[in-house]
Amino acid sequence: MKRNEGREDSRVCVLGLGNLMRTDDAVGMLALRILAEDIRLPPGIEVVEGGTLGLDLLHHVYGLSHLLVLDAVDTGAAPGKLTRFLGQELARLPTSKSVHLLGLSDLMNVLLLMNAPPLETVLIGIQPESTDWGTALTPAVKAAQPSLVEAALSQLATWLAEIATHTPATNLRLAAQ
């Protein structure tokens, strides 16, 4: 695992959720793979392919300061539309809107019970057109996938700027990878 350079207690992770065998449901996982290869991804960001693992992801997210989740989320919008959910918006999102939100909700509740929730959690969802069996994204979701990656990079840049402004230069360190 990579750790974020900055405050010793700062760990930033991007978690991709999705089922690679369910057409647009795979968009979170596929966007995560693109993001992981993007030269603009800041060093030290943890990247986790969460798939459909739910509570099995606890060891990946325990101790994070910031968690960014990429997933297909049915908001009733046009296919490919991005929606950002933060904090209480995420907590109030009906679990039926994503096949993974029940697992994500359970995961976040366990972290809360352990007194170890991330300081900030953001879900960037993309409206799927289809979650039927299949291994290719629909054209609308595939066309929107670069926007999902850009939104993730923007959120990470915001968090890293916030972390940097709250970190005295003397506390900077290079964490073991």
Identify the DSSP state of 134: B
Residue 111 within any structural domain of the chain: yes
Residue-level pLDDT at 4 = 38
- Judge whether 45 lies within some domain: yes
- Residue 121 CA to residue 102 CA, distance in Å, equals 15
Q: Which two tokens stand for residue 161?
A: 């700027």
The b-or-e profile of 11-44 (16+ CB within 10 A means b, else e) is bbbbbbbbbeebbbbbbbbbbbeebeeeeebeeb
Kindly state whether residue 160 falls inside one of the protein's structural domains. yes
Assess if residue 1 is contained within a domain: no
pLDDT, average across residues 68-73: 94
Total Cβ atoms within 10 A of residue 91: 13
- If one counts the domains in the chain, the total is 1
Question: Domain containing 20: what range?
Answer: 12-166
Residue 7 lies in a domain: no
**60-to-11, 50, 53, 80 alpha-carbon distances in Å:** 11, 9, 11, 28
- Tens of pLDDT, residue by residue over 85-113, are 997 787 766 555 555 555 677 777 788 88
pLDDT tens readout for residues 24-46? 999 999 999 999 999 999 999 99
pLDDT over 50 (residue 138): yes
Q: Is 86 helix (H, G, I), strand (E, B) or coil?
A: strand
**pLDDT (0 to 100) of residue 1:** 33
In a domain, 175, yes or no: no
CATH of the domain at 95: 3.40.50.1450
Tell me, yes or no, whether 3 lies in a domain: no
Q: Would you say residue 71 lies in a domain?
A: yes
Q: What is the pLDDT of residue 3?
A: 34
